Each structure stands twice: as structure tokens, then as C-alpha cells.
Amino acid sequence: MNPSLILGIETSCDDTCAALVTEQGEVRSNVVASQGLIHEKYGGVVPEIASRRHLELLDAVMADALEGAGATLEDVDRIAVTRGPGLIGALLVGVAEAKALAAARGLPLTPVDHLHGHVVAGTLGPDAVEAPYLCLVASGGHTFIARVEEPSSYTVLGSTLDDAAGEAFDKGARILGLGYPGGPAIQKAAENGDPEAFDFPRSYPGELDFSFSGLKTSLLYKVRDGAGPVEDLAASYQRAIVDALATRLGQAARREGIDRLAIGGGVAANAELRERLEGAAIPPFELCTDNAAMIAGAARFLPAVEYPGYLDLDASARIHA
């Protein structure tokens, strides 16, 4: 018998995503249509444009995912969709599509917290991390450390008090005139820079929390004072962010007595962070940035809602516990 297939849908921000994942965690397909070039000229994501683009792309992206998995809708056993957090208009597109598709075929549907997807992304594939583990999630909108006793839920041990790590990369790149998205732009510039050239601050507020606003301000002052070159500023700035993330994860591991570690979120694609946390369970690049495989993967550990119980399901811009 063929394993049960979950069709995942993710539209929380500016990437239109669909994926097919088995109940055993095998990723059969994972399709992402990026809107990066569209939003680059604005220096960030424009919510209305993102929502309209999702409407245009979602059907085609799902068709590509089915084709890539060698499957049809007849082979799908349940639908999983990101309910939140994210841009409300973008989320509504995915939720409406998932509800319509599930209802039309009488399939169960599982709403998924986007951040839960990042937390359990490392449980997919042949090198899956096993609970209990600690997971550092660092993305454009969120940065936190979670303790995972069972993949069905997670407990936040510490989080950012201001900017997320990805947001710090984006704002830093804007200050340095490197473009958008900031993470890849700073990483590229840093390749030819000296990470020890500038002594940027590392802030460790509270017990396991993060803060990046002071780092961003320090970079701004150095640029205003004419410090350079840009490559050295980028390398030193990137090193400060990576130091903060890696240090906090190490502190959490010692405090919690857990040495099994994982990372997730778009910043987990950063080469320096991946090298620094070489012993951790690091998902492939395609599972770090927003994707639907992680949403379908999280759904494996969550209850499915049978028809018609999900017809009143709504999206939410805020985190769902």
C-alpha cells in the first residue's frame, strides 16, 4: 500500500508554497514560488502585492507539487495549511484554498502554526532529529529557542525582545546599501570581509532572550561616521548576530541538560551559522526558508479536523498556541 500523503499549503508571507509529505516524514515534493524580485524594489514585502500574487500562483504551485510527487489529488489523504502567524491577507488565500479543496473532496484538514513548522522541520527526511531536543528558530519575523519534548508542541524558553535576527539582517543590509533580502546580501559581502574588523555589541537580556536593536544602532553610527570598508562591516555585523544566536543556544542546552539541538527559519540558511552549529540537526536549505513541507510535516503530529468542522476556520496574523 502507498503511504498516506499530506498536501501542505503555505502562504504566510511572500512565498507561495505547496508540498507532498508522507506520514513517515518523507518529502515527496516541495515547491516554492518566490516573490523576492517583485518586492526587492520596495525594500521589503508589500502585503497587498503578496496576497494578489498568491491568488495568481497557488493553483499552479499545487499542480507542480503533485506532479513532482508523481501523485494526483486522488492520492491525497489530508490537507495541511498555515493558519498563522503572518500577513493576514496572504494567510487568507492559503486557508480559503485549503478549505475549499478539502471540502470538495471530503478530506480532513489540519491547521498549522507557521512557527511550529520551523520547529519540527528537522524531523523530516532520513536524518530526522528525535525528541527531546532544543530548536533555535531564527527568521525575518521571529527569533526564539524552543524545548520540544514531543513534536506535537513546543515550549518557548527565550525570544527576541525587539528585532528578529532576520529583521536585523534586513535592516543592516539597508544601512549598508546592500539591497533586499538582507541575509543573503550581507553574507555575500561578508565573504570578502574581516569579521574581527569591528567590535559590535552582543546583547544578552534576561536569561535566554535576544536583542538586536543595539547592534543595528551601532552599525548605523559606524556608517554615519564613515567607517568601512563595507565588506568588513558586513562580516563583523554578521559575526555579531551569529555569536548571539549560537551563544544563547549553547546556554539553553546547558541549562536544560539537552545536547540534541536543531535550528530552523530563514536565518538557518546562513553559512556562518550553519558552520558554527555544525553538530546540530540542520535542515536542508529548502526546509529553512518558508516552505510547505514543514507545514505538512508538522501536521503529522497534530489532530485532523473532519469535514465540515473546518468550514469556519479562519486565519490569524498572531501566533496560535
Domains of the chain with bracketed CATH: 5-121+289-299 (3.30.420.40), 129-280 (3.30.420.40)
Q: What is the DSSP string of 60-73?
A: HHHHHHHHHTT--G
Confidence of residue 43 (pLDDT cuts 50, 70, 90): confident
Looking at the DSSP bridge assignments, the partners of residue 110 are 80
pLDDT digits 0-9 by tens, 16-36: 999 999 999 999 999 999 877
Instruction: Tell me the C-alpha distance between 187 and 183, whole Å.
Output: 6
Q: Provide the CB-side half-sphere exposure for 118 (13 A, CA).
A: 28
Interior angle at CA 298, CA 276 and CA 50, nearest 5:
85
Looking at the DSSP bridge assignments, the partners of residue 18 are 9, 31
End-to-end Cα distance, the chain: 35
Mean pLDDT of 132-150: 95
pLDDT digits 0-9 by tens, 159-207: 999 999 999 999 999 999 998 889 999 999 999 999 999 999 999 998 9
pLDDT digits 0-9 by tens, 271-284: 999 999 988 888 89
Residue 44 has pLDDT above 90, yes or no: no
Q: Provide the CB-side half-sphere exposure for 257 (13 A, CA).
A: 0
Helix, strand, coil % over all residues of the chain, rounded to 5: 45, 20, 35
Confidence of residue 141 (pLDDT cuts 50, 70, 90): confident
Predicted pLDDT at 227: 84
Lowest average pLDDT, out of 39-48, 213-222, 265-274, 284-293, goes to 39-48
Dihedral of the CA atoms 116, 131, 299, 246 (nearest 10)? Answer: 30
Residue type for 175, please?
A: I
Q: Report which of residues 319 and 5 the model is more confident about.
A: 5
Predicted pLDDT at 38: 76
Residue 116 has pLDDT above 60, yes or no: yes
Instruction: Tell me the C-alpha distance between 143 and 165, whole Å.
Output: 6
Q: Tell me the three cell numbers of residue 168.
A: 536585523
Contact 168, 140 (CB under 8 A): no
CA-nearest of 144, 139, 180 to 252 is 144
pLDDT, averaged across the chain: 93
Q: Report which of residues 218 and 320 the model is more confident about.
A: 218
> What is the β-pairing status of strands 133-138 and 155-159?
unpaired
Mean pLDDT of 80-87: 96
Mean pLDDT of 113-137: 94
Residue 256 has pLDDT above 70, yes or no: yes
Mean pLDDT of 123-138: 94
Residue 321 has pLDDT above 60, yes or no: no
